Amino acid sequence: MIYSYTRVSTNKQDYLRQDEAIKKWCADNNVEIDVSFSDTITGKTFNRDGYNRMKQAAVSGDTIIIKELDRLGRDWDGIKEEWKYFDDKDINIVVIDMPLLSQAIYDKDGNIDLNIKFLKAIVFETLCYNAELERQKNSRRTSEKLQAMKAEGIKLGRPVNTEVDKTVCELYAQGMNKSDIAFYAGVSRPQVYTILKRNHLM
């Protein structure tokens, strides 16, 4: 069985962008979706009706198609746990926005291609590692900057133009969508908009 999963955080958003991307990928790869699941709920919780029904339905040999990795969740720990759940059951996850994670772990005969499964595991762990390093770096630099300002007697308010701002702006300039920017920079989507506006990019 082949499933698709889409998620938006609020009723003010719609699934169109994700649906269109999934339809295009399926058309390009001659794939037909058997069942589609969706949720309108924050990725911070895994108590999602559509997502849980999909997890219960999916078995070894099935494929789940999502547009972005953060459709699984909002933090790396949660995403890693969910990824492991599917990986342990030999359920293939296709992440359209990440070509190296869009490869099928099954060969033409339906058998598991261990080389592809291993490659996807390496790519996924590398993404987790790089994201965590980036967050730690941003946190450390912000802390150091605040300490320096405090030592100079500067009144501290909410910091702006930090390394987080720089990361968000650089990712935006590279063409990354705002959901992924929020995910990699470790901020919320509203914060991404605020940072882009503050830096005159919107």
From the list 180, 173, 184, the residue with the least C-alpha distance to 196 is: 173
What's the one-letter identity of residue 18?
Q
Tens-digit pLDDT profile for residues 146-188: 677 667 765 555 555 577 888 888 888 888 888 778 877 878 8
Average pLDDT score over residue span 74-82: 78
SS3 state at 5:
strand
The pLDDT tens digits for 30-67 are: 999 999 999 887 766 777 899 999 999 999 989 999 99
Distance CA 150, CA 122 (A): 42
**Please, are residues 36 and 3 in contact by the beta-carbon 8 Å criterion?**
yes
Class of domain 2-112: alpha beta
Q: What is the set of active-site residues?
A: 9
Q: Which residue has the tokens 């987080």?
A: 164
Q: Which fold would CATH assign to domain 134-198? A: Arc Repressor Mutant, subunit A (1.10.10)
Give CATH 3.40.50.1390 domain extents, the chain: 2-112
CATH code 1.10.10 region(s) in the chain:
134-198
Q: 0.75 cut: is pTM over it? A: no
The number of C-alpha atoms within 13 Å of 120 and in the hemisphere containing its C-beta is 26
